[in-house]
Amino acid sequence: MENTPAQVMAPLLDASPSDAGQFVSGLKVVMSRPSDNDVLYTMPGDGTADAATIRFRLSPLDNGSATQVQAFVDVPPITAVVGGKKLMLSEAKVAAEVRDILEALAKNSSSASTHTRLSQVLAALAICTDSKIREEATKLASGSSSPMSRMLDGDSYGEGDEVKAPDDLAPVEDNDPTEFDTPIDESNRYAEDV
């Protein structure tokens, strides 16, 4: 980006899901600064699933006149029923939303626009990670233009396929759930970002 780290950091620090509080109360988003160049947003949810996180790492370039921004997105596999369809929270789609926000910021989009879009993503993740709030909010997510709808994915599982939540899966024969010593390769768990 052709902006200084301070210019890039300001709208990233300004994001807040509180705007969504008018529709859904009790959203949990924690912003922290693990280092001077990092901004970490954590959506802890209600503890029934792992927390979702978005970390922005800024590195000054060209003696501080430009900035490299890396975004790291980690979201748990959460399912929701929206409009009668069972959908799964898509890490790739969350990453695409974040990438779009950063691309707009790089094109000198307004700080207010960045604030609004990032706040919507944080609110959607806070909703998705809290089962009670998610249940309330899925009634509001029927339109395809809502951030929550854009980050839920039914398409990656095939046309018309229903996403199976872990409690819907049949037990595998000879599978001992107490055996944790066999490593599992999850490198292809999420779709690669483009």
Phi first, then psi: what are they for 94, rounded to 5°?
Answer: -65, -45
Rounded average pLDDT over 131-138: 80
Q: What is the pLDDT of residue 115?
A: 78
37's tokens: 């160049």
CB neighbour list of residue 175: distance below 8 Å, 6 or more residues apart: none
**In the chain, how long is the greatest CA-to-CA distance?**
60
Residue 69 lies in a domain: yes
In a domain, residue 191? The reply is no
The answer to which of 31-35, 115-119, 127-131, 168-172 has the lowest mean pLDDT is 168-172
Main-chain phi, psi angles of 134, to 5 degrees: -60, -40
**Percentage of residues in the chain having pLDDT higher than 70:** 65
Taking only the tens place, the pLDDT of each residue in 175-193 is 444 443 444 444 444 444 4
pTM of the prediction? 0.67
Q: List, in order, residues 6 or more apart from 165 with CB less than 8 Å away.
A: 79, 86
Task: Rank 3-7, 63-67, 93-97 by mean pLDDT and report only the highest.
Answer: 93-97
Where residue 133 falls among pLDDT bands split at 50, 70, 90? confident
Q: Exposure of 191 by Cβ count < 10 A (0-12 exposed, 13-18 middle, 19+ buried)? A: middle
Asked if residue 51 belongs to a domain, the reply is yes
Counting Cα atoms < 13 Å in the Cβ hemisphere of 112 gives 0
- Specify the pLDDT at position 14: 73
Q: Residue 57 pLDDT > 90, yes or no?
A: yes
Mean pLDDT of 124-135: 86
What are the two backbone dihedrals, phi and then psi, of residue 54, each rounded to the nearest 5 degrees?
-130, 120
pLDDT tens digits, 154-176: 554 433 334 333 344 334 444 44
Q: Answer whether residue 10 shows pLDDT above 90.
A: no
| In-domain check, residue 14 | yes
pLDDT of residue 109 exceeding 70, the answer is: no
Band of the pLDDT at 73, cuts 50, 70, 90? very high
> Residue 185 falls within a domain, yes or no?
no
* 32 contacts: CB under 8 Å, gap ≥ 6: 39, 40, 42
Within a domain: residue 166?
no
- Which run of H or E residues covers position 66? strand 66-74
Domain count, the chain: 1
Query: Does residue 178 lie within any of the structural domains?
Result: no
For 140, 173, 176, 177, 184, the CA distances from 181, given in Å and listed in that order, are 43, 18, 11, 11, 9
Q: Is residue 124 part of a domain?
A: yes
Range(s) of the domain holding residue 124: 5-154
